[in-house]
Amino acid sequence: MKQVLLITGSSRGIGAATALLAARAGYAVCINYVRGAEAAEALCARIAAEGGQAIAVQADVGDEAQVARLFEEVDAKLGPITALVNNVGVLEHKCRLADISVARMERVLRTNVIGYLLCCQQAVRRMSTASGGHGGSIVNVSSVASRLGSPNEYIDYAASKGAVDTLTIGLAKEVADEGIRVNCVRPGLIHTDIHASGGEPGRVARLAAGVPMQRGGEPEEVAQAIVYLLGPGASYITGTFLDVAGGR
């Protein structure tokens, strides 16, 4: 059966590394983005040049209608979805909780939590053997922030990742006998652009000495864990958390 994978937020960072690795493993991949059309198209071209199949689809995962269209495009252009990586994650400038506006809380929770819930809904409707599907696999990308809490940086973001962890536990149990596995990867300090969004592009280097392995991680190292959990090697694993954080 053709393996069809949607990775949300995959124009760059961990999502892009996962798209490349998964395409090399034989998945037809949908690369989703909001603003980075050029990067997404370049990644598609690279996958095609290596003999793989990829499409790029713009959609904001926090918008129900756009998520519905995203999955319809996957149906039409790649075929029935067999795998989903919920990877989009946003954070804003670091500050104390007292200084976080309600508007910011709503933006972060809409993208990081409602976005994951909406994509899981669409995927389960298609994958569930209870509704005529052939099963599938979902990996949610959370963060070690869900257990560290991100004090003085972004408690709103950390709380959103706590919700992702809980979503993983609940959905894994809800669909375990419908052919769908749901797991979670929790990265630590990884070299991507997300730290610039928080106002500190050099954050990984500053904090690396506090990581037991004494370094930040690479997006490709997180991608390995995601692709493992997606695939047949993890066939008896569901509701599990895999921290990719150098011991942090």
Closest separation in Å from C-beta 132 to ligand NAP: 28
Name the residue nearer to ligand NAP (CB basis): 130 or 151: 151
Closest separation in Å from C-beta 239 to ligand NAP: 19
Q: Could you tell me which residues come within 8 angstroms of residue 102 by beta carbon, excluding any fewer than 6 positions away?
A: none
C-alpha 167/C-alpha 19 separation (Å) is: 23
Closest separation in Å from C-beta 120 to ligand NAP: 14
Q: What angle do CA 203, 7, 4 make, to 5 degrees?
A: 155
Name the residue nearer to ligand NAP (CB basis): 143 or 238: 143
**Is residue 222 within 8 Å of residue 89, measured between CB atoms?**
no
Name the residue nearer to ligand NAP (CB basis): 88 or 113: 88
Name the residue nearer to ligand NAP (CB basis): 189 or 242: 189
Closest separation in Å from C-beta 99 to ligand NAP: 21
Q: Distances from the Cα of 40 to the Cαs of 10, 27, 201, 217, in angstroms? A: 7, 17, 22, 22
Catalytic, out of 27, 33, 157, 236: 157
Name the residue nearer to ligand NAP (CB basis): 11 or 122: 11
Contacts with ligand NAP by CB under 6 A lie at: 8-15, 32-36, 60-62, 87-90, 111, 141, 143, 187, 189-190, 192-194, 197
Is 157 known to be catalytic? yes
Q: Which amino acid is at 48?
A: A
CB-facing half-sphere around the CA of 175: CA atoms within 13 A: 29
Catalytic residue numbers, as ranges: 157
